[in-house]
Chains A and B, each alone.
Chain A
Amino acid sequence: MPAFSLSVDYQRLFRSLPDNFLVMAPDATILDNTDSHVAASLKPREEVLGRTLFEAYPSVDQNQGDVIAASHEHVRQYLEPHTMPLIRYDLEVPAEQGGGFEEMYWQATHYPVLGPNGQLQYIVQRTRNVTEQHRTALAAAKAQAALAESQERTIFMLENLPVFIWTAQPDGQRDYFNPRWLAFTGQPMAQEIGWQWAERLHAEDKARVLDSWRHSVATGDPYQVEYRLLRHDGQYRWILSRATPRRDADGRISMWVGGATDIHEQRQMVQELLEANEQQAILSEQAYQMYQKAEGQRETYENLFMQAPAMICILRGPEHHYEFVNPQYQLLFPHRQLVGHRVAEIIPEVRAQGIIDLLDKVYQTGETFYGNELKMQLERDASGELRDSFFNFTYQQFREQGKPAGIMVFAFEVTDFVRARQTLERLRATGQADSPEQ
């Protein structure tokens, strides 16, 4: 054996081992440690040698110190290695590095080293700083919890949103329907997945809907379609269904998510509204035609009345308001504005002559009054003087909607004729008296 092998500097070798080793006497007095341990423990070797572990590296709390002491006790008692549970053992940061404690996690194992007679000679502590791993594990657990929470939220939303939701595989097979869909169709999930859902489409819609879905699956185009879907009670309801593909990092479709809403009422409302509007347009057109016709007739009659060689007026209502007066009639009273006024108010002189009573009677009974050479005393100019005037006329009730509405007056003045006759009669009477025997 070569001589150099005998001159190994074991202490140097020990201190250079690439791991954290600490050698203690059975009573935990520190005898030596590796350079790695010095570096990890943030404490110079000369400050710890000869002191117990607990003095050299004070615990932040009693519990952790107890865990270490218990591990030592295990080794002393059973002379076998003992791995401590992961512990938090914060190390004192030297004042020049800022002081205080640094939060650290350790995985430590205590190994017994026995003397020649089997007695415990040393306790070797091998400590691995697992702060990083521990932090990573903690972060992973937190992320996992967040993921689980996020998944639960998603599931909660899928199951409780007031819409139908489904998903499909890239080949178009449906693989999920939310409870709202299942409640609508009254089918269990097993009866809907794949292509089975299409069995509940209305016969007239099925081919169109499936074509559209196959097209979207083949091209990745968003899916948007309306159709009638059979509800659990046997009624078909109009549904608007839409879906969007989800793509992976390579742009390949990894799944489809679809949503659908019941638009039956909405659609029915649109239809009813259209029908109502069409009816309204027809009615409105009819009313308009009738209005135009009535307006045309009214104009014709008004023209006829205006041009008629007779006196015509229309008195409306039980108080006989002048509503229409033709020029011939107006000539009777050139100084009075008749339209809009009551007869009794604008021609007060006729009241005492019984004319208003006559009008009232015609209005009430509907019996036409025929006046024949009837004498009235009228103020025919602004002189204040009443003149005898004779008329042939009719007062004729007219009715609207089955009720008396007014009186139409149609008159010819016969004053000149009556006077001529009266003169003639007088002359005759006189002539007869003058020459009785001619």
Chain B
Amino acid sequence: MPLTPFDFQQARVKQVLFKSRLRSVLYGVREAEPALFSVADNPLGQWIQTVLKPQTGGQPAVHELEHVLQLMLRTGQDLATRYQRGHLEEARAGLDQINGFSDQIDSLLLNLERAA
């Protein structure tokens, strides 16, 4: 089935959910679960594999999307580690970096959506 705006909306919801989960770890609202930072378990990562790739396979934007997602997850894990070591402020300040990756992901999704 070709991709619709509905599919991309799903992807955006999933990426906001990741930011929200990470933020809640860095504010001590939730414990960090290892699955939060695994590409295989990340909802957006799963979406890329199961929804996006079958339709748009080898496009460079898809590879870039995977790459930026990996950077975002790795950075998120670093921030969670900092938080666990008691560097609360530093960990939260790092959310800026996450926002940067998230903006990149949004713009890649938008380009893919326009091309779909």
Residues in chain A within 8 A of chain B (CB atoms): 212, 224-226, 240, 242, 263, 266-267, 270-271, 273-274, 277-278, 280-281, 284-285, 288, 291-292, 295
B24 in contact with A284 (CB, 8 Å): no
Within 8 A of A (CB), among B4-46: 6-7, 9-10, 13-14, 16-17, 20-21, 23-24, 27-30, 43
Of the candidates A224, A274, A292, which one forms a contact with B29 in the assembled complex, judged by CB atoms under 8 Å apart?
A274
Q: How far is the CA of A271 from the CA of B16 in the complex (A)?
A: 14
Among residues of A, the one whose C-beta sits closest to the C-beta of B85 is A224
A226 in contact with B20 (CB, 8 Å): no
B27 in contact with A212 (CB, 8 Å): no
Of the candidates A212, A226, A274, A277, which one forms a contact with B28 in the assembled complex, judged by CB atoms under 8 Å apart?
A226
A224 in contact with B87 (CB, 8 Å): yes
Among residues of A, the one whose C-beta sits closest to the C-beta of B24 is A274
Q: How far is the CA of A288 from the CA of B3 in the complex (A)?
A: 12
Main secondary structure of the interface of A (DSSP, over half): helix
Which residues of chain A have C-beta atoms less than 8 A from B9's C-beta? 284
Q: How far is the CA of A273 from the CA of B30 in the complex (A)?
A: 13
B6 in contact with A270 (CB, 8 Å): no
Q: How far is the CA of A151 from the CA of B46 in the complex (A)?
A: 60
Interchain Cβ contacts under 8 Å between A and B, 11 examples: A226-B88, A240-B88, A266-B27, A270-B27, A271-B24, A271-B27, A274-B23, A277-B13, A278-B20, A284-B9, A288-B10
A284 in contact with B27 (CB, 8 Å): no
Given A270-B29, A271-B29; A284-B10 close (CB under 8 Å): yes
Interface size class of B (residues with CB under 8 A): 20 to 34
Given contacts A270-B29, A271-B27, A277-B16, 6 further A-B contacts (CB under 8 A): A267-B27, A267-B29, A271-B24, A273-B24, A274-B23, A274-B29
Which residues of chain B have C-beta atoms less than 8 A from A271's C-beta? 24, 27, 29
Number of inter-chain CB pairs below 8 Å: 56
Q: How far is the CA of A197 from the CA of B13 in the complex (A)?
A: 44
Q: How far is the CA of A115 from the CA of B13 in the complex (A)?
A: 112
A274 in contact with B10 (CB, 8 Å): no
B6 in contact with A291 (CB, 8 Å): yes
Q: Nearest Cβ in chain A — how far from B69, in angstroms?
A: 16
Of the candidates A224, A274, A291, which one forms a contact with B20 in the assembled complex, judged by CB atoms under 8 Å apart?
A274
Of the candidates A267, A277, A285, which one forms a contact with B10 in the assembled complex, judged by CB atoms under 8 Å apart?
A285
Which residues of chain A have C-beta atoms less than 8 A from B1's C-beta? 292, 295
Within 8 A of A (CB), among B68-103: 86-89
B86 in contact with A212 (CB, 8 Å): yes
Q: How far is the CA of A212 from the CA of B87 in the complex (A)?
A: 12
Given A226-B88, A273-B23; A284-B13 close (CB under 8 Å): yes
Which residues of chain B have C-beta atoms less than 8 A from A225's C-beta? 86, 88
Q: How far is the CA of A332 from the CA of B20 in the complex (A)?
A: 58
Main secondary structure of the interface of B (DSSP, over half): helix
Q: Nearest Cβ in chain B — how far from A340, in angstroms?
A: 22
Which residues of chain A have C-beta atoms less than 8 A from B86's C-beta? 212, 224-225
Of the candidates A212, A270, A292, which one forms a contact with B24 in the assembled complex, judged by CB atoms under 8 Å apart?
A270
Among residues of B, the one whose C-beta sits closest to the C-beta of A226 is B28
Among residues of A, the one whose C-beta sits closest to the C-beta of B26 is A270
Which residues of chain B have C-beta atoms less than 8 A from A274's C-beta? 20-21, 23-24, 29-30
Q: Nearest Cβ in chain A — how far from B111, in angstroms?
A: 21
Among residues of B, the one whose C-beta sits closest to the C-beta of A277 is B20
Q: How far is the CA of A288 from the CA of B7 in the complex (A)?
A: 8
Of the candidates B14, B17, B89, which one forms a contact with A224 in the assembled complex, judged by CB atoms under 8 Å apart?
B89
Q: Nearest Cβ in chain A — how far from B26, in angstroms?
A: 8
Which residues of chain A have C-beta atoms less than 8 A from B89's C-beta? 224, 242
Q: How far is the CA of A292 from the CA of B51 in the complex (A)?
A: 12
User: Which 8 interchain pairs have the tightest Cβ spacing?
Assistant: A277-B20, A270-B27, A274-B24, A271-B29, A284-B13, A281-B17, A274-B20, A277-B17
Among residues of A, the one whose C-beta sits closest to the C-beta of B16 is A277
Among residues of B, the one whose C-beta sits closest to the C-beta of A266 is B27
Q: How far is the CA of A280 from the CA of B43 in the complex (A)?
A: 14
Q: How far is the CA of A266 from the CA of B23 in the complex (A)?
A: 11
Which residues of chain A have C-beta atoms less than 8 A from B28's C-beta? 226, 267
Q: Nearest Cβ in chain B — how far from A257, in angstroms?
A: 16
Among residues of B, the one whose C-beta sits closest to the C-beta of A283 is B13
Q: How far is the CA of A72 from the CA of B89 in the complex (A)?
A: 74
Which residues of chain B have C-beta atoms less than 8 A from A291's C-beta? 6
Q: Nearest Cβ in chain A — how far from B52, in angstroms?
A: 14
